[in-house]
Amino acid sequence: MLKRAEAMRVLDDVLIKVVHVEDIVGLKVQALVNNPERAVRDWADIRMMLEAASEQGRSIDWELLGDYLAIFRLETKLPELRSWYGKIGRE
Query: How many separate domains does the chain show?
Result: 1
In the chain, at which residue ranges do the beta strands (DSSP E only) sit? 6-11, 14-18
By residue range, what is the domain housing residue 51? 25-86
Please state, in angstroms and rounded to a whole number, the distance separating the CA atoms of residues 25 and 71: 13
Which tens digit of pLDDT belongs to each residue from 64-82?
Answer: 999 999 999 999 999 999 9
Which tens digit of pLDDT belongs to each residue from 33-64?
Answer: 999 999 999 999 999 999 999 999 999 999 99
The answer, as to whether pTM is greater than 0.85, is no
Question: Is residue 50 a contact partner of residue 81, using CB atoms and an 8 Å limit?
Answer: yes
Is 70 inside any structural domain?
A: yes
Is 55 inside any structural domain?
A: yes
Three-state secondary-structure class, residue 89:
coil
Question: Is residue 62 a contact partner of residue 21, using CB atoms and an 8 Å limit?
Answer: no
Is 15 inside any structural domain?
A: no
Is 35 inside any structural domain?
A: yes
